Amino acid sequence: MLDDHEGPIQDYVQGMSAANMRTRDVKRPIVSPLRYPGGKSSLYSRLRAIVRANNLTTGTYVEPYAGGAGAALGLLATGQVRRIVINDLDPAIFAFWTAVVKFPAEFSELINRVDLTVDEWVKQKSVYAEAPRDDYLRLGFATFFLNRTNRSGVLNGGPIGGMDQTGNYKIDARFNRSTLVERIRIVGLHANRITVSNLDGMSVIKRYSKRANTLIYADPPYFEKAGSLYMNSFKAGDHAALADCLNGLRESNWLLTYDNAPEVETLYANRRREVFSLGYSAHRVVKAKEIMVFSDKLEIA
């Protein structure tokens, strides 16, 4: 599964215990506690190079469509950037990040104590559906629980191993308590340098694009395949509105990734673009072609 292609750690993760540091062939730090279909933590090295080439190491790195925020946390925890902004419009994802940043100790205790059974899964599913959206700890934990126990991390999917637990992998297959507690601890260590918000991505882009020493990495819902993978608030007009917004930001440091749909070439015809591949598991596609678009100002590394 995507999140658990855990390449060993290349850069020193501040505060990470030796047990979580890997020494084999080196790829990227895994700090995000969430599994995310189409997650971009594997872009860590590329983003690090871009941060350095643009002299942004003392600056703020912003993910307006953050999801699992794997790349953001990797950059923060290894000291590549000073601050990060994690924004997501999905109230459940927002509750998760708020809970982890504000209450890491309580969150870890829940990880250590929760039963990893189908009965518990049923309970957490109803908390996820019914908890008040501002009950960050309960809603955030339910979101996390489903993310770690559902097939491919898809929040409205079924549990790993099925309701009857007859599959090869069981409900606890992606719930290694000590690894997850360690990731929560690391996020908690850096909490005062993390801003979490629950706004529309475009308003976050507009707000931060005016600030110096800032890099915005936008990874909006895809044109295709978004389906039920994560909350998808985007319609055709929203993709076009985002393009209008980003294309107008000539003096800002931003980059964008999408699935390599023909619309991207049309919407971003005048920007520099690059096709790349990402390991991808939610639809059993091993290599997906994605596209990266760069603002005119950005030094590409």
Ligand X SMILES: C[S@@+](CC[C@H](N)C(=O)[O-])C[C@H]1O[C@@H](n2cnc3c(N)ncnc32)[C@H](O)[C@@H]1O
**Which residues of the chain form contacts with ligand X (CB under 6 A)?**
36, 38-40, 64-68, 70, 88-90, 93, 200-201, 219-221, 230-234
Which of 195, 189, 174, 233 has the alpha carbon at shortest distance from 36?
A: 174
Residue closer to ligand X, measured from CB, 120 or 200: 200
Q: How far is the CB of 198 from ligand X (least distance, A)?
A: 8
Distance of closest approach, residue 65 Cβ to ligand X, in angstroms? 3
CB of 166 to ligand X, least distance (A): 30
Q: Which two tokens stand for residue 152?
A: 């491919």
Smallest separation (angstroms) from ligand X to the CB of 92: 9
C-beta closer to ligand X: residue 88 or 182: 88
**List of residues 6+ apart from 138 with CB closer than 8 A:** 127, 131
Residue 63 or residue 182: which is nearer to ligand X going by CB?
Answer: 63
Considering the complex, state which of residue 161 and residue 197 has its C-beta at the smaller distance from ligand X.
Answer: 197
- φ, ψ at 272 (rounded to 5°): -70, 140
Structural contact between residues 122 and 140, judged by C-beta atoms closer than 8 angstroms: no
Quote the radius of gyration of the chain (alpha carbons, Å): 18
Supply φ then ψ for residue 166, to 5 degrees: -100, 0
Rounded distance between C-alpha atoms, residue 116 and residue 118, angstroms:
7
Which pair of tokens denotes residue 107?
């969150």
Amino acid at position 80, single letter: Q
Q: Which two tokens stand for residue 166?
A: 């007859």
Residue 154 in tokens: 């898809």
Nearer of residues 28 and 40 to ligand X, judged by Cβ: 40
The Cα–Cα gap between 162 and 83 comes to: 40
Nearer to ligand X among residue 83 and residue 123 (C-beta): 83
Q: How far is the CB of 121 from ligand X (least distance, A)?
A: 22
Query: At closest approach, how far in Å is the CB of 279 from ligand X?
Result: 13
**Cβ atoms < 10 Å from Cβ of 32:** 26
71 or 118: CB nearest ligand X: 71
CB of 67 to ligand X, least distance (A): 3
